[in-house]
Amino acid sequence: MRASIGLKVFTIAFLVLILLIPLNMVEDLVWERENYRQQAMMEVSGTWGNHQSVTALVLTIPFHRYSVISNEDGSEKTVQTTYHAHFLPATLDIEGTVEPEKRKRGIYEVVVYSSELDIHGSFDRPDFSKLGIDEDKVQWDQAKVSLGLSDLRSIQNEVSLDWADETIAFEPGIPDQDAFYSGISAPVHIAEDRLKYDFDLNLLFNGSNGLQFSPLGKVSQVKLASNWPDPKFDGAFLPGAHDVSSEGFTAEWEVLQLNRNYPQEFEGTMNEITASNFGVELLMPVDHYMKSTRAIKYGLMFIALTFLVYFFSQIQHKVRIHPVQYLIVGLAICLFFTILIALSEHIGFDKAYLVGSAAIITMISLYSLSIFKEKRLTAILAGILIVLYGFIYIIIQMQDYSLLIGSIGLFIILGLVMYISRNIDWYRAGEDV
């Protein structure tokens, strides 16, 4: 039984499959730690301010419609029902800054920010004929302008609206939720002889992770500046011009009404507004969980190639290696990923990978010395492990070319295995081992 090569190969393959169990447990550990981080981010965001979405501005004017209904006794009566018509600005210009800072919750860091926006533009006089509504049924004195903000708790100033040479204070709440669900509003005056209404307001608020805008104007222009060096521009539109450096970023968007899927005036609910949102996400340069997960994906390769070295040492140098010793080495490799996760939360992925791989290579090499009883063979094993860990590190860093580099690497490894094993007599290889 001890001389059977087939049995040795079967035993090693079985041990590799067994070691997939702790590898899966380590992968679950990564998910669990990342989940803890997400919870910490939600706790900080919940008290400071969530991801913000700004929808500015919507002019809302109620109007009546009349309908005739029948009573139970057969008589009829006329019922008046109030609806809301909504008008979007002709021009919309937003200029703002985002001042980020890092907050800690336990060992986790969360990026939050304070933002100041200057919002100005103009409305044309509402044209109800486009909606098929008679102006004599319009309640002009109930007109309101609404500003949508996803998390109202984070507003830091008394917001007032400069509207056609008037200054009007915003009030909490919105007339309806046809355009957005959360916001503030201000009553405005619509004159019969005025065709254009300029507006201007300043908004100071807190948020976290990111900021988005809705392009409500016929022409919407947004200019944003920040000292955060790691932005991700997302949403329906990318900035037409942007500059990103270690000092921060600037970005400019210009969106036309033809670029979105809703009109300048509507009545009832308009769900398409959020689909056209755009903005920026403030990325945290913390990707050690993603890199650790990718490293674990190569765990099977770590184990298989290490066992392959042991197997050829056993065949060519007549070294007796018990399956339990294979198992111990495999568990040491699995321990590497746990060390990697734990250290990367404190010192970063690169340093954690260096420390973890050095510790495991040293431990496996010293253990192998007691098995091989030969320094030269142990040194060869240590060198192979160093190349292997370095190769996997390069694959993890080169995300775009990882498949190409990995395929070439495996091709070279398989070629080396073929070259080394070319003169082995597999029928007699297990004798005296």
pLDDT at 285 exceeding the cut of 70: no
pLDDT at residue number 432: 52
Rounded mean pLDDT, 18-39: 85
**Average pLDDT over the chain, rounded to an integer:** 87
pTM of structure: 0.73
Which of the residue ranges 121-125, 192-196, 419-423 has the most confident prediction, judged by mean pLDDT? 121-125
Across 17-21, average pLDDT: 88
pLDDT band at 407 (very low <50, low <70, confident <90, very high): confident
For range 269-279, the mean pLDDT: 91
Residue 286 clears pLDDT 60, i.e. is over it: no
Q: Which of 24-28, 161-165, 284-288 has the lowest mean pLDDT?
A: 284-288
Please report the pLDDT score of residue 1 as a whole number: 41
Q: Give first-to-last CA distance, the chain, whole Å.
A: 11
Q: Is the pLDDT assigned to residue 378 strictly greater than 50?
A: yes
| pLDDT tens figures, 212-247 | 999 999 999 999 999 999 899 999 999 999 999 989
Determine the pLDDT at residue 125.
Answer: 92
Report residue 200's pLDDT band, with 50, 70 and 90 as the boundaries.
very high
Sorted by where each begins, the domain ranges of the chain are 5-37+288-420, 51-282
pLDDT of res. 252: 96
Residue 330 to residue 14: CA distance in whole angstroms: 12
* Interval 50-88: pLDDT, tens: 899 999 899 999 999 887 777 777 777 778 888 999 999
- In this predicted structure, what is the pLDDT of residue 110? 81
User: pLDDT per residue over 78-95, tens digit each?
Assistant: 788 889 999 999 999 999
